[in-house]
Amino acid sequence: MEELTAPDFIEALEKSSKTCIIQIGVMEKHGAHLHLGTDLDLVREYSLRAAEQEYTVVFPWYYFSQINEARHQLGTISYSPELIWKMLQETLDELHHNGFEKIIIVNGHGGNNAFLNYFGMAQLAEPRDYSLYWFRPESNAEVMKKFVELTHEDKNDAHGGTRETSSMLTAEPDVVHLDRATQQSGKNQQRIKELKYVYTGIWWYASYPNHYGGEASAANAEAGELLVNETVRQLVEMIQLVKADRVVPALQEQFFKEAADPLKTKQ
């Protein structure tokens, strides 16, 4: 999007079927071997590769994310919950103001999952003239089997582990320091395992205080290319489906009409 001129923007709107990707990452530690912008760069890679195959407009790097769990680590840029909500909502509203009717979130940061679930539901709080879709790729058993054969079985692979490191070796190998992958422990510390039936926000810190989950020394670019290609394949398919989708916009219109006067909704 940032490379379009204003006149080109009009053509891009039509060529994309008024569909835009906003890729969301964060600035955070990824062990001692991956750079702070790993999530941003990976999700950018997915989005640009997919857009080359199925035209859509890609928003610039977006890093206003939920990362409270890493505030104890250097390099973490953690904005307030109120700000990240308002930034995302106003960004989507502005994209619509500029003509987009379908917006796809491609998230590269696991710490956003709960936030994005609730944010998506909150879009129903008031009428909107655009539809929001969140890309959530699925694991492919055959691809993962080949991936493990090329690397090793990383049982603690949660953050900065073999999968993420291999993907970065494909996307941006120059910023990966694989020789540092064993400098810190990425083992699950299980410091609250005795607390049954409990959710607490400190769970990630209790498990991975080094903000590293896994053991990435066997990561390699060939394995990473498998993962990246599969993610892109699914994203391309999703973009095609979203472009053709008429159901979600129609359901939203019906929902907002009924929500305006529930007494008139058939019981």
pLDDT digits (tens, 9 = 90+) for 135-180: 999 999 999 999 999 999 898 999 999 999 999 999 999 999 999 9
In a domain, residue 102? The reply is: yes
221-232 average pLDDT score: 98
Sort 11 into a burial class: Cβ within 10 Å, 0-12 / 13-18 / 19+.
Answer: exposed
The answer to whether position 226 is within a domain reads yes
The pLDDT > 70 percentage for the chain reads: 100
pLDDT at 19: 98
Q: What is the 3-state secondary structure (H, E, C) of 64-131?
A: CCCCHHHCCCCCCCCCCHHHHHHHHHHHHHHHHHCCCCEEEEEECCHHHHHHHHHHHHHHHHCCCCCE
Specify the CATH number for the domain of residue 165: 3.40.50.10310
- Contact status, residue 103 vs residue 130, Cβ threshold 8 Å: yes
Q: How far apart are CA 100 and CA 9, in angstroms?
A: 11
Tally of domains within the chain? 1
What pLDDT score does 93 carry? 98
Answer whether residue 168 is part of any domain.
yes
**Residue 51, pLDDT score:** 98
- Residue at 76 is within a domain: yes
Q: Quick: pLDDT tens for 99-136.
A: 999 999 999 999 999 999 999 999 999 999 999 999 99
178-200 average pLDDT score:
97
Instruction: Indicate whether 75 belongs to any domain.
Output: yes
Instruction: Report yes or no on 1 lying in a domain.
Output: no
Q: How many Cα neighbours within 13 Å face the side chain of 126?
A: 2
Per the structure, the complete domain to which residue 219 belongs is given by 6-264
- 222 falls within a domain: yes
Query: How do residues 194-207 score in pLDDT, each as one tens digit?
Result: 999 999 999 999 99
Residue 99: what pLDDT?
A: 98
Taking the CA atoms of residue 182, residue 184, residue 190 and residue 192 in that order, the dihedral angle to the nearest 10 degrees is -170
Give strand pairing partners of 133: 104
Are the C-beta atoms of residues 136 and 106 closer than 8 Å to each other? no
188 assigned to some structural domain: yes
For residue 166, the model assigns a pLDDT of 98
* Confidence class for position 185, pLDDT limits 50, 70, 90: very high
